[in-house]
Amino acid sequence: MIAFGDASGGRTAVGVYDLHRFNKVASIVVPSFPHGTLAWAPDRKAIACTLGDGASRRIWIVKIETGAAIELPRPPGRDVPGGDLFWWQEHELAFFPEDEAPLTFDLERLELAAFEESHAFKKLDDAGKKIWIEGPRSNWPEQIGWRLGLRTMLKSAVPPARREPDSPWELSGQTICAYEHPKLPLAFGFKSLPVNEGDKILCSADGSKIIRLLNGQIEVTFMKKTACPDFMFEVEMPLPVEEIGNTGWQNQIDSKELCLLVYAPLRNPLNNVIVGPDYSQVRALARLSEWKGRKAVFIVQTHDKGIMAEDVASTLHYWEPGKMSEWKPTSTRKWWSAIKPSPSALPDKLSELESPQLFSLIQEPTSLLVMKAAEKPRLPSPKVVQEAPVVAAPAPPPLPAITEQDVKTFLSEHHAKASRGDVVGMMADYDQMVDFLDKGRIPAAQIESEETQHRQKWPKGSEQVIGAIFVINQSGVWNATYTIEFYNENASGDWHKGRADLSINMKTEGGRLHITSQRAKVYGVTDSKQSPKTSTSAAAQPQQPKGVGISVPKPCFVSVTQAKDVRQIEFTDQISFVNRITWHRTYRELSPDGKVLNTCRAIYDGSGGVSQDRRSARIYVGSQGWERTLGTPEFVRFCEKSAASMVGTEFNFQFTQDGMIESALGISFRLQK
């Protein structure tokens, strides 16, 4: 089970979710969201937490089975301490404040005492005492064997322009969760588990679940045991190893620091022949293991099962701290080679590469926190002799701490700026890079451009906060969830309005808040074109179907159609509006007699949903992913091109007695329960 601050019912509560039965077993109302960690009782039947600030902070015990939330009285003679909280003995809590020595709280006598005076603490050996005093105070399932970590995967590596051959390569990457080899700097990563700064990661005790806390949401990935993938492959090098003496790369080869990149193949569409690497699709980074004659064996540094048999190797280079230095002799600049698996065994030792690492993990009491990776140490710059002593300026006064009320005021003012059309003022509220809606991490300048265009199209507008703003602080990252009502109108009098549920992350810098992430779920949208017409010609206009209200458990809507531009291609669309929007499109290539030859599936993420009257629905397709294990490469490329055309498109549906109809194309979907 996992416990969390639960705002789903429009009130502050402690929620408990059963990860095996897939249901919420409790949502216990409390006066405010808990501070820091929720501490499970040893018997897992209750949870301890602290609520309130300063002198008003109190210890609360939440009973799972009865749903009772019990406030304990203030300890005699002092306030409830802050810091990390553990329910470490049956009748004893442990506090680890940052401003004083660790303390225990006796749940029978309701008294605080020094942690070292606890009878349970005195029974521990020296190693046990050291762990509880100094930490880490939580055990992780990766202590033996592969270890949970992060790896930054290169996604593209584009060479410099022909006129500027000495310019650096344009590299882009993404940091993902990965299991690191017990002894070697190798990793088995998961592209489906990307992370951003401020995310938290937890693991179940047996390693069967990885839990990520992302933008106020909990995402649980259920793991399974699998065979370790092959990390070794062989390529044909551009020249024999005996001829490298005059290239200046002997040291990199002797020290096994020579690297290459594995790319998806670039095919000539005229004859379907592979002509080189596709620089926009990096599969893996690999390093030299051995080189004999023109044959060399390389080791994949980070593996995610993304390498395919037809991929190619290219771009020989080595790494300095975060910088790629290319091998530029004429014989290697345009070199590329097919790859094939190698039976060679992994080496006993392997040094670390200085390849870019965007994020790293730090261990907190009950979770791992994603932070920006520390920069590699650089050589100290030469000292400058001062001709006169420099008098240090007086230290500035400390900046005031940000409070929950400050966060609420900041957000209310942000939406007031939007209502005034103050785009410049709005942009001052954002960080330089923002994880924005369904666009991923984008620069604030791009948000400014979109907001400016929006205001030009809709000069009059307003954004009004509806109800309460729920605020929580996790390791310095503020998260707020709330609802706004928006209205926009143009010069012609056309308008639209609706509501949006927002989840916003903010960081504190220079004594003020900056928005680092913004998510929105829009619903209940209506516009002037949906209003009744008073014109006398209205009766002559064809009437759109009003739709039939739906009320079925877990409805799913399915449509099977033929591709119009390619014969013998059939696709099935499967849409569900339960919990969130899921849209799967399965492509099938059929033989003349109707047998399935190849299959491929596109998976769409979108926004929108069912209208409040449950008679219609709207989906805006924001992104698209793949199940790439199905279908031949040629068929997958056709499907990719077809599926990509749907991204950025809005679809509107009207429900019928037995399904729904897409308004623009007239495609019918049948209802399945």
pLDDT digits (tens, 9 = 90+) for 373-425: 876 554 443 333 344 444 555 555 566 688 888 899 999 999 989 988 888 88
The verdict on 100 and 152 lying in the same domain is: no
pLDDT digits (tens, 9 = 90+) for 100-110: 889 999 999 99
Closest by Cα among 53, 36, 99 to 401: 53
Please give the share of the chain, as a percent, with pLDDT higher than 90: 24
Residue 27 forms part of a structural domain: yes
The verdict on 597 and 498 lying in the same domain is: no
Q: Which of 89, 111, 134 is the last residue of a domain?
A: 134
Residue 540 forms part of a structural domain: no
Residue 44 forms part of a structural domain: yes
Structure confidence at residue 388 (pLDDT) = 44
Task: Pinpoint the alpha helices (H) of 308-464.
Answer: 330-333, 404-420, 423-427, 444-457
Q: What count of other Cβ atoms lies within 10 Å of the Cβ of residue 306?
A: 18
Residue 393 forms part of a structural domain: no
Residue 399 forms part of a structural domain: no
Whichever domain contains 446, its CATH number is 3.10.450.50
Could you tell me the pTM of the whole model? 0.54
DSSP 340-361: EE--PPPPS--PPP-----EEE
Q: What is the mean pLDDT of residues 650-662?
A: 85
Residue 607 forms part of a structural domain: yes
Q: What count of other Cβ atoms lies within 10 Å of the Cβ of residue 667?
A: 14
CA–CA gap between residue 28 and residue 34 (Å, rounded): 12
Mapped onto helix, strand or coil, the DSSP state of residue 242 is helix
> Which DSSP symbol is given to 335?
-
Mean pLDDT highest for which of 51-60, 241-250, 324-333, 577-586?
Answer: 51-60
The verdict on 436 and 511 lying in the same domain is: yes
The verdict on 122 and 237 lying in the same domain is: no
Beta-strand pair 430-436/512-527: parallel
The verdict on 498 and 564 lying in the same domain is: no
The domain total for the chain is 4
- Cis geometry, peptide bond prior to residue 240 (ω within 30 degrees of 0): no
pLDDT of 182 over the 80 cut: yes
pLDDT interval class at 539 (50, 70, 90)? very low
The verdict on 120 and 175 lying in the same domain is: no
CA–CA gap between residue 58 and residue 79 (Å, rounded): 8
Structure confidence at residue 535 (pLDDT) = 35
The verdict on 60 and 193 lying in the same domain is: no
Closest by Cα among 481, 461, 459, 478 to 470: 481
The verdict on 580 and 520 lying in the same domain is: no
Residue 247 forms part of a structural domain: yes
The verdict on 198 and 303 lying in the same domain is: yes
Structure confidence at residue 268 (pLDDT) = 92
The verdict on 153 and 239 lying in the same domain is: yes
- Comparing 4-18, 29-43, 565-579, the range with the smallest average pLDDT is 565-579
CA–CA gap between residue 126 and residue 146 (Å, rounded): 28
Domain that holds residue 71: 2-134
CA–CA gap between residue 488 and residue 496 (Å, rounded): 6
The verdict on 458 and 473 lying in the same domain is: yes
User: Mean of the per-residue pLDDT values for the chain?
Assistant: 82
pLDDT interval class at 143 (50, 70, 90)? low
pLDDT digits (tens, 9 = 90+) for 184-243: 889 988 888 888 888 888 888 777 889 988 777 888 999 888 777 788 999 999 888 888
184 vs 566: which has the higher pLDDT = 184
Q: Which of 104, 134, 164 is the last residue of a domain?
A: 134
Residue 311 forms part of a structural domain: yes
Q: Which of 87, 104, 134 is the last residue of a domain?
A: 134
Run of H or E residues at 62: strand 58-63
The verdict on 305 and 351 lying in the same domain is: yes
